[in-house]
Amino acid sequence: MKVNVLGSLSILSTVLLTTMVPAVNAADSSILTSSAADETLYLDDDEIYPDYALEVEQATEVNGIQLPVGTLIYGQYEPAPGEDDLIFVAESFAVNGRTYSFDAVSERLEDRTDPRDRRLGEIAKDAAIGAAGGALLSEILGDIDLIEVLGGAAAGVAVGQATANRVVVIKPDDIVQLKVQ
């Protein structure tokens, strides 16, 4: 009597996977993922960023295929239709050395003021430019007064905040929900 050892191992691993890790059917809910990048991403909301990966955070099933925690989902970040935000458009995932095509889209990933533009040095630079403008305007209109210089500094900070770059910030531990299409 022959015993198919590989088939038995495959069945055993399937049984272990389904009993050890609760699966969620992707058609009924979201796939919870996070960025596979090791560093924080700062993405402009009007650009397309191909060749990115998300990592599955909770085991799930897509079209009868188990996606264990850590499965990589490949796709790209692209502008959300009609919005100043991005979405992640998934195209495939890899399980057990095989790549499967599928379609999934993230919720909107909202843009915000670039935190790299809000460092103390940047704020001080905006204040200095505003103060210099306030001093110059005061000199033209009369003599320099502390109020005009302080007002110019405040205006410089406000203008710097209003004109700062806006980006979508994705940290490695941020959850990105995907909906299978």
DSSP code at position 96: T
pLDDT reported for residue 131: 54
In sequence order, what are the residues at sequence separation of 6 or more whose Cβ sits closer than 8 angstroms to the Cβ of residue 30? 177, 178, 179
26-45: pLDDT as tens digits = 455 689 999 999 999 999 98
At residue 115, the pLDDT reads: 77
Residues 161-171 pLDDT 10s: 555 688 989 99
136 or 112: which carries more pLDDT confidence?
A: 112
How does residue 144 score in pLDDT terms, banded at 50, 70 and 90? low
Q: How many CB atoms lie within 10 A of CB 167?
A: 20
User: pLDDT (tens digit, 9 = 90+) per residue, 57-91?
Assistant: 999 998 889 999 999 999 999 999 987 899 999 99
pLDDT > 70: percent of the chain: 57
Token pair recorded at residue 119: 């460092």
CA atoms of 94 and 65, how far apart (whole Å): 10
